[in-house]
Chains A and B, each alone.
Chain A
Amino acid sequence: MKTLLVGECRDGRLLEHSYELFGFASQLGAETAMVLVGNEGALPSYGGTVYLADAAKYGEYNPDLHKLLVQAAVEREKPDYVVFMHTSYGWDLAPRVAALLKAPQVSEVVALAEGGFERPCCSQKMRQVVKPVGAPVVVTLQGGAFPALVPGGMPQKQPLEAEGEARSEFLGYEAAVRKGVDLTRAEIIVSAGRGVGKKENLPVIAELARVLGGEVGASRPVVDSGWMEAGAQVGVTGQTVSPKLYVACGISGAIQHLAGMKKSGFIVAINKDKDAPIGEVADVLVVADVMQFVPALTAKLAK
């Protein structure tokens, strides 16, 4: 069995999560080759074949040409699986490659299953097993689901070229806006999620943070709704934090949020929904309405 792993570069560097692709191939017991649009300095620590296309020529984001480059590598390697990370690069490019190859695609795989793959559904609350029909199979992997594996060695480079029309123009990256508190240094964080109900309820969360001597964070919906500044957002698109205590108030636990806080020392989640995915990482799950429980907790702690 053969896998073609699609690595990912940003700003000329190989993104670390690309090594999770090797972790997946290892669990599958499959041979590997990698395809990468990057440069000499971005090569993985890996002794196998790397099909390398020049990012200076093709751009780091140029899906119309990247899909053709991956297709060219597929033609040479003839893999059973073409594997991406389920990232802004992977979920953008994988369906284009699948369309080109007329191949099935399984998105955001978290585990191998008999005859197929296990993937999350219903906002990470449930799991689905799907079996692809046809070959090769395009797969994207949920970040963190397969432990990173660094094979080591010097790659055997194979230059890769493709010709085609680029229909989108990449104008550049925009750095993250960092305003407000640096949550990465906080020892205690109390975060507000959608379960807080409305902006007017936020002082209740801030008060608990004050009594605990911590900072206030937020989940994505709270920031998207304009209740709090983007600088307070915890998660893949915000800050990645690891305080001694993380209190998630009314946060259901989208994978993007969990990835940003699951390394916290101790996690308390307060949620009405006993089955919310936050329960998977919480040391304590308090099944309650945030607006009833948090004021009661604050009052008791303040005594």
Chain B
Amino acid sequence: MKILVCVKQVPDMESRFRPDADGVWYAETDLAFRVNEYDEYAIEQAVLLKEQLGGEPEITLLCVGPDRVVEAIKKGLAMGADRAVHVRDQASHLKDPFQIASIIAAYAKGEGFDLIFTGMQSLDRGSSQVGVGIAEMLGYPCATTVVGFEYADGTVTVKRELEGGVKGTVRLKTPALVTCQLGLNQPRYPTLPNIMKAKKKEVSVIPVEQLLQQDARLVMAQFRAPAKKGGGVVLEGDVADQVDRLIGILKDKTAVLR
């Protein structure tokens, strides 16, 4: 069995974001990058499946992005992927979700992957388009927003998370693609021996020009902070002072403090 896991490297979401020179995306200065949280669930599910099948499946990790993404690749390999493909693209942030899906599909076509795992969205762009797009381009059935996953004899049974806590159970035959929702499993922390082992694993680099055949369908025009709705009071400074001010406001504005 061949498994592909697609991961993206994204900034820490507690960062302060500023527009880049063109004003269309964030400037990378001062940002710390990490593996997109949703993709950690995708990696973990692939590794759990490999363990379930006695180590037989080979897990390939794929990441599109500039040089910095080697750190995300290292983490995925340390979590248990066998090999990695770095589609090197210094301008991946300017590609639209359709192009990113096209790039990944161009790589995966002909590789004969039985299962592809992706996150259901990225924390920075959050389009929820790339996973489904890859499946459509490859002609794979696909289930999104998966919070439960079982595999047996070429059949995948997943639970999709719907609104209001309801779940929908769906069965697919491989080859198939699933997009992983938070809470699907408990992503492991790489152990030191596995971090060391990961250093010896194969990472192939493919320049994006070899895989990109499509023009963008979206033009990024602007990146900015949301207009503040206002009205809210912001309390900063010394904790004791904040406590007093908050209690004062609660006494004034609510009837909950007796």
Contact = CB atoms under 8 A, between A and B. Distances in A.
Interface stretch (B48-56, B66-74, B135-143, B197-205): B135-143
Nearest to A220: B182
Determine the interface band of chain B, counting residues with CB < 8 A from chain A. 35 or more
Interface string A229-243: 010010011100000
B221 A266 contact: no
Contact of B254 (A106, A125, A266, A273): A266
Given A105-B98, A172-B169, A236-B164, A288 B242 contact: yes
Most central of A86, A95, A237, A274 by chain B CB within 10 Å: A95
Which of A122, A188, A285 has its CB near the most chain B CB atoms (within 10 A)?
A122
B168 A275 contact: no
Interface string A173-197: 1111110000000011000000000
A80 to B, nearest CB: 15
Contact of B14 (A174, A273, A293): A273
A188 B258 CA distance: 13
A173 B160 CA distance: 9
Given A88-B162, A129-B221, A296 B239 contact: yes
B167 interface: yes
B213 interface: no
B126 A95 contact: no
Contacts of B234: 274, 279, 284-285, 287
A144 B219 CA distance: 25
B221 A116 contact: yes
A296 B17 CA distance: 31
Contact of B13 (A107, A122, A244): A122
A88 B183 CA distance: 16
Contacts of B142: 63, 168
A140 to B, nearest CB: 8
Contacts of A108: 126-128
Contact of A283 (B96, B162, B170, B232): B232
* Chain B interface, >50% SS class: mixed
Interface string B37-77: 00000000000000000000000000000000000000000
B141 A64 contact: yes
Contacts of A276: 14
B17 A122 contact: yes
A86 B127 CA distance: 10
Contact of B236 (A167, A220, A287): A287
A238 B165 contact: yes
B254 A122 contact: no
A95 B232 contact: no
Contact of A286 (B25, B231, B246): B246
Nearest to B11: A122
3 interchain residue pairs of minimum CB distance: A176-B165, A104-B217, A167-B141
28 contacts: A64-B141, A88-B163, A92-B145, A95-B128, A95-B132, A107-B128, A120-B226, A122-B26, A125-B13, A126-B17, A127-B222, A128-B25, A168-B142, A172-B168, A187-B256, A230-B165, A237-B165, A266-B253, A280-B226, A280-B228, A280-B229, A280-B232, A284-B235, A286-B235, A288-B242, A293-B242, A300-B244, A300-B247
Given A121-B126, A170-B168, A245-B256, 4 more contacts: A91-B121, A133-B217, A265-B254, A280-B228
